[in-house]
Amino acid sequence: MNRQNNARTGPGTAFITGVTGQDGSYLAESLMSQGWEVHGLVRHVPAHINDGETTVDGVEYHLGDLSQPHDVGSVLKSVRPDLVFNLGGISSVYQSWQQPYETALVSGASVVSMLEATWQLQQATGKEIRFLQASSAELFGEAKSAPQNERTPISPVSPYGAAKAFAHHAVNVYRGRGMFAASAILYNHESVRRPAKFVTRKITAGAAAIAAGKLDKLSLGNLDAVRDWGWAPDFVDAMERIVSAANPSDFVVATGVSHSVQDFVEAAFAAVGIDNWRSVVELDESLARPSDAAEMRGDITKISSELGWRPSMDFESLVAAMVRNDEDLLAKDKAPQL
């Protein structure tokens, strides 16, 4: 990332919430490889890290919970970052239906306290702090057409989408106040670090386990949902470009190509050599969501033309990479719990 700062070490200091998550861990690795000093917010000490979380050597971890605004404000004051990446929160639409209030608090209201704490610190020190919010395609839940772009009306259909919509508006409010506050409107993105509570990883881990004779059936909810799936490290690159841009703005980050969950299932089973996937996949109504977003497909014209970003990984390669990783984990007896 090409940005010069008057920082203590390297190009500057970055603070990441959600640093143990899929994106936060890739971002921490990427920034550190460029000389950034990286600090991250965690809810528990990394020695007690849970399945599905990734820690990165060299990151300085700070205890705190996004639902406790005071925690985050104090950590920000002690870190005095040049960049703030707000990636933490409840990131699963399914979980948001189980915990709607917590989702509103952690993925919605807490963003205002992060923005306010960042603004206050900037005012007190006179040093610019750039803020990037992990916004979501779920803002456009009821989109009437595809692809969606930065001007598509915001009309969420889940507690997750509603919380992200509130946060998205709050970022615009602080941008209007004069802060460098930007949003990456992220479409679905996957990797080998995706936890198995997400349908994509459940599918790749399930296909690998069935092919190895360690699982009989894979239960899934809605196979018809249509999503635009990208590769997480590409999306982290997009976040770095957005926060380094000349001006703060909103950018759709996607691949521009959509597939159904059924396409994902077919590709995963094809990767393990099973053509007759219908015989091992069962539909379970209880896993379907009360309402699901329409076709999600992003228009990446703005980020491509203004920031030169393009995705590097196509759908089939992405699914195959996840399946190969799950096969390796099975062989090492480290497969995720399904």
Chain residues binding ligand NAP by CB under 6 A are 17-18, 20-24, 41, 43, 53, 65-67, 87-91, 106, 134, 136, 186, 188-189
Cβ of residue 278: shortest distance to ligand NAP, in angstroms?
Answer: 27
Residue nearest to ligand NAP (CB): 21
Cβ of residue 211: shortest distance to ligand NAP, in angstroms?
Answer: 25
Cβ of residue 321: shortest distance to ligand NAP, in angstroms?
Answer: 15
Compare residues 181 and 210 and give the one whose CB is closer to ligand NAP. 181
Closest CA relative to residue 253, chosen from 190, 338, 311: 311
Compare residues 39 and 189 and give the one whose CB is closer to ligand NAP. 189
Catalytic site residue 244?
no
Q: What does the block give as tokens for 129?
A: 């702090």
The size of the chain, in residues, is 338
Closest CA relative to residue 14, chosen from 2, 34, 31: 31
Compare residues 7 and 201 and give the one whose CB is closer to ligand NAP. 201
How big is the CA angle at 198 (ends 48 and 102), to the nearest 5 degrees? 65
Burial of 332 (0-12, 13-18, 19+ CB in 10 A): exposed
Which residue among 25, 30, 110, 138 is the active-site one? 138
Catalytic site residue 160?
yes
* DSSP code of residue 288: S
Which residue among 30, 91, 107, 136 is the active-site one? 136
Which residue among 26, 61, 160, 187 is the active-site one? 160
Closest CA relative to residue 279, chosen from 287, 269, 288: 269
Catalytic site residue 136?
yes
Compare residues 41 and 210 and give the one whose CB is closer to ligand NAP. 41
Cβ of residue 137: shortest distance to ligand NAP, in angstroms?
Answer: 6
Cα 241 from chain centroid (whole Å): 16
* Count of beta carbons in the 10 Å neighbourhood of residue 35: 12
Compare residues 134 and 265 and give the one whose CB is closer to ligand NAP. 134
**Tokens 């970055």 belong to residue:** 14
Cβ of residue 176: shortest distance to ligand NAP, in angstroms?
Answer: 22
Q: How far apart are CA 92 and CA 72, in angstroms?
A: 22
Compare residues 13 and 22 and give the one whose CB is closer to ligand NAP. 22
- HEC-encoded secondary structure of 7-70: CCCCCCEEEEECCCCHHHHHHHHHHHHCCCEEEEEECCCHHHCCCCCCCCCCCEEEECCCCCHH
Sequential DSSP letters for 213-259: TS-S-EEES-S--EE--EEHHHHHHHHHHHHHSSS--EEEE--S--E
DSSP 3-state of 283: strand
Cβ of residue 333: shortest distance to ligand NAP, in angstroms?
Answer: 23
Active site residues: 136, 138, 160
